[in-house]
Structure 1
Amino acid sequence: MMKLYLDPGHGGSDSGAVGNALKEKDIVLDIAFKIRTILTNNYQNVEVRMSRTSDTSKSLSQRTNEANSWGADYFLSIHCNSFNGSAKGYEDFIHSSLSDTSTTAKYQDIIHTEVIRVNQLQDRGQKKANFHVLRETAMPALLTENGFIDNSQDAALMRDSSWRQKVAQGHVNGIAKAFNLQRKTTDDSEIVYKIIVGSFKSRENAEKRVDYLRGKGIESFIDIDTVSGETRYRIQAGAFSNRDNAEKRIEEVKKAGIEDAFIVQETNSNDEENSGYAILGPTFISPKHMNQFVKQINTDALELGNYYFSFGEYYGIRGDIAFAQAMHETDFLRFTGVVKAEQNNFCGLGATGPDNPGASFDTPSEGVLAHLQHLFAYASTKPLPDKYPLVDPRFNLVNRGSANTWVALNGKWAVPGDNYGQGILSIYERNIKATMQNLEKVLQDIKS
């Protein structure tokens, strides 16, 4: 059992450094909580004790005495810096009496490397000092200074919860490497290492990053996330089951000139009901590639990709898989069944046979909107967001939240429909394959 004593600096009457309407004690407590959560949720044989878990005062002696009495294996103190408003960046400290070949110094080397990989801060280096928490601890100890709170650029990052999560993940990655911690796994799950190469508030900036990476021969896509109610566009450049392969991709990305790349470790379940094919989630395929895909089969097809992308993004639904469902229902917009093209009913809402072809909608946009609203009814129990009017005539007939995945629509959306969801996913996977082939051709053209 590895025992980590985690020390968010300051607290209570001691606010620590202040600047840009921020207090050090608040920032470091949040980072420490995130470190504890990641470690205890994802790693075996690790125990974390925090010097404080609220805004309370605690002396330096109380902190070191508690860690020593507990028999901690490592002492990690989390801080932010301040100076004159112009200084910025990250640095960390071990005690000044220690040699560069000491165990503590080796731990510092590892953790420093991992934190700098993700924190988007200037690297001010690895340092030594005679701080109390480094001097009076009986175990290896490190104090990290995570940016300058009185610097406007560093402070802007500190305000962002997703940045604090990155910083926490960097610390955890370093600790896991230093102490050879093993991740928690179960028989029905596997670890996935996702390569994240930027997070943007602007979709335009995210698309520029994707275009740049693809120009360097590195495939990537935009993953939409919500942080504190704010939409962020996160760029992913691969996912690997092997950590070494993920590290190699990180090096490729850095050689391409992107320094803010980092690895996120996730556990993916193989259980069908909890697989990656959930109804709720980000849309990966662009409107252009959705339209290209259907036109390869039906050259006269309407271009619906933008509707599925934008409404999917708004409702938090996989718009690209909903598009595949529409292709499944309409025979790639050829409308060879009971529903006819003029109905703009792309998902067969209410259609039960020749005598009842189902609902009709005034425009293609309205038909797609009804489709996404109906999926939202199945996948979520939350109230329908109110930016758009409710146009799905069967929304209130759905047992809310009764289908979280596409396969779970079997026997609900289509009856009996034993393989209904599987059919949708098969079309989606064909779209993915076609998209990748198109991108590879573009990359070959760029290289030539």
Structure 2
Amino acid sequence: MFKLYLDPGHGGNDPGATGNGLQEKNVNLDIALRIRDILNNEYRDVDVNMSRTTDTTKSLTQRTNEANAWNADYYLSIHINAFNGSARGYEDYIYVGLSESSQTAQYQDIMHNEITAVNELTDRGQKQANFHVLRESAMPALLTENGFIDNANNAAKLADASYRQKVARGHVNGLERAFNLEKAASETLYRVIAGSFQVKENAEERVTYLDSRGIPAFISETSVSGSTWYRVQAGAFRNRTNADQRLSEVKAAGIGDAYIQVEEGDNPEVSGYGILGSVSLAPEHMDQFVRSINPDAPSLGNYYLTFGEAYGIRGDIAFAQALHETNYFRFTGIVNEEQNNYAGIGATGPDNSGASFATPEEGVLAHIQHLYAYASTEALPDDYVLVDPRFDLVTRGSARDWVGLNGKWAVPGDQYGQLILGLYEDVVNASITQLQNVLDQIEL
């Protein structure tokens, strides 16, 4: 077991260095929490003890005494520099007087190389100093100075959550090499996604908001159907329970559409968007989105909201599924518009175009009931009469989330659920844009 004492410098009534709207104590803590999370979630046999996990005051003596009493294997102190506004770059320190052949110096070599490989800062070198945490710690110790907070260029980087994630990753890469850390045996990684945006500024606003709520987050770029999306990630976990806890925190902060992306080795899935759940989008947003593509599309958003809420089904995502099945209600496939069959229920080929329903309302109801058959083993609620002709042919509870429909609703359909969720993200982001336009008009 590798025992790391991780020390975010300053805190509480000691802000540390300040500049460009930033306080060192806050940046130190954010980077350290990210280091802790990466180690806890991606490595085995690692125990991390932090000097502080919130904005609290702790003396230098308390910190080193705690590390010594705990018999830590390594002391890592995170700091940000300041000088005259012109100085910039990264440097790190070990205790003064140690030889280049000492174990501490060898660890410094590795840590320095890994951190500077990713931190995009001028390399100011490896140094020595008589700092308390380096002098009084009984184990090898390193203090890193991750840029200058009073330098506009460095501060702009440090203000970016995605950059702080890079810095944290560089520290972890160094620890992995220096102490031969082993990756966790589980190949499954649960990423908490707190929104995807086509406009980077919107993603940055979401990250800033989450940071203000004490939830570390950063932006990662991904490609969906050839378009670049900026995905806000609020944690990655090897333990599903930890991921579920973080997801709950994100949703409690008001991000109702957060979900968990599950990665099994090289096979990523989107999960956490269960078929069962609350509708998040307003009906008018659903209808406005599809009419921006197909002006002749019917107004079905209210039906998907009403029936979705009645059955506890994510009616807004079911709406996205209908867009996929009907080509935005253009009906360019084997199902025709008069059938009111928005889910392709029973449609198997040119000779069998599937079920027909008397009204659009009935067609949406059948769609929601068919989803309920897949997502739940409970009896069908008695709010409405059963109109889905294939309800009893479904293996009940065989698909709890949208990806679970792969190979069931559509055959072979190995990306069926992912395509639906991609469309849903399009609808969500369009609704955000609509709301922002309204707010802009109000401000004018």
TM-score under structure 1 length normalisation: 0.54
Matches within 5 A, 1:86-235: 86-186=86-186, 189-190=187-188, 203=199, 226-229=206-209, 234-235=220-221
Aligned partners of 2:399, 2:405: CA distance in 1, in Å? 6
Q: Verify the 8 A CA contact 1:328 1:424 in the aligned structure 2.
A: no
Distance 1:277-1:41 versus aligned 2 partners, 3 A rule: closer
Runs (5+) with no aligned partner, structure 1 = 193-199, 206-222, 238-263, 282-302, 308-314, 361-366, 380-401, 411-417, 431-448
Other-structure match for 2:404: 408
Asked if 1:36 is matched to 2:22, the reply is no
Q: Does 1:425 align with 2:419?
A: no
Aligned to 2:251: none
The answer (yes or no) to whether the contact 1:226–1:232 under 8 Å persists in 2 is no
Residues 410, 416 of structure 2: 8 Å contact kept? no
Question: Matched residue of 1:99: which SS?
Answer: coil
- One-letter identity of the residue aligned with 1:337: V
- CA deviation profile, 1:117-170 (whole Å, cap 9, x unmatched): 333333222222222221222211100011111112222222233322222222
The answer to whether the 8 A contact 1:348-1:358 is kept is: no
CA deviations on 1:265-316 (whole Å, 9 max, x unpaired) are 8755559xx96144859xxxxxxxxxxxxxxxxxxxxx98xx9xxxxxxx9x
User: RMSD of aligned C-alpha atoms?
Assistant: 5.1
Give the partner amino acid of 1:127: K
1:336 to 329, 334, 339: 334
Distance 1:227 1:429 in 2: 24
Query: 1:129 & 1:201 partners in 2: Cα distance?
Result: 45
Distance in 2 (CA, whole Å) between partners of 1:83 and 1:339 is 70
Unpaired segments of 5 or more residues in structure 2?
A: 191-195, 211-216, 224-234, 239-261, 275-292, 298-313, 348-353, 376-397, 420-444
CA distance in 2, matches of 1:11, 1:76: 16
Q: Distance in 1 between matches of 2:70 and 2:219?
A: 43
- Deviation of 1:201 after TM superposition, in Å, equals 9.4
1:446 alignment partner in structure 2: none
SS at match of 1:94: strand
Q: Mean alpha-carbon deviation: is it higher for 155-164 or for 18-27?
A: 155-164
Per-residue CA deviations over 1:319-369 (Å, capped at 9, x if unaligned) read: 9x9699437999x9642224369x8x8755999724547479xxxxxx9xx
Are the structure 2 counterparts of residues 339 and 349 from structure 1 closer, same or farther at C-alpha, using a change threshold of 3 Å?
farther
Looking at structure 2, the residues matched to 404 and 174 of structure 1 have their Cα atoms a distance apart, in angstroms, of 40
Partner of 1:15: 15
**Deviation of 1:58 (Å):** 2.6
CA shift for structure 1 position 106: 2.0
Residues 98, 324 of structure 1: CA spacing in aligned structure 2 closer, same or farther, 3 A cutoff?
A: farther
CA distances 1:61-99 after superposition (whole Å, capped 9, x unpaired): 332222222211101011000011111221111123122
Amino acid across the alignment from 2:337: V
Whether the aligned pair in 1 keeps the contact of 2:89 and 2:124 (CA below 8 Å) is yes
Residue in structure 2 matched with residue 276 of structure 1 by the alignment: 269
Match of residue 434 from structure 2:
none
Equivalent residue letter for 2:125: G
CA distance in 2, matches of 1:59, 1:224: 34
Structure 2 vs 1, CA of residues 86 and 270 (structure 1 numbering), >3 Å: closer, same or farther?
A: closer
Alignment of 1:353-392 (within 5 A): 353-356=355-358, 358=360
Judged with a 3 Å threshold, the aligned counterparts in structure 2 of structure 1 residues 277 and 171 are, in CA distance, closer, same or farther, namely same
Provide closer, same or farther for how the CA distance between residues 41 and 131 of structure 1 changes in structure 2, counting only shifts above 3 A: same
Q: Look up the SS of the partner of 2:182 in the other structure.
A: coil
Q: Work out the CA distance in 2 between the residues paired with 1:329 and 1:178.
A: 55
Structure 2 distance, partners of 1:52, 1:355, is 62
C-alpha displacement of 1:33: 2.0
Distance 1:16 1:349, change over 3 A: farther
Q: Match of 1:72, SS?
A: coil
Alpha-carbon spacing, 1:55–1:184, altered in 2? closer, same or farther (3 Å):
same
Asked if the contact 1:104/1:141 (under 8 Å) is kept, the reply is yes
- The share of aligned pairs that are identical, in percent, is 48
* TM-score calculated relative to the size of structure 2: 0.54
Q: CA separation of 1:9/1:353 partners in 2, compared to 1, >3 Å: closer, same or farther?
A: same
Please state whether the residue corresponding to 2:128 is helix, strand or coil: strand
Does residue 53 of structure 1 match 2:33?
no
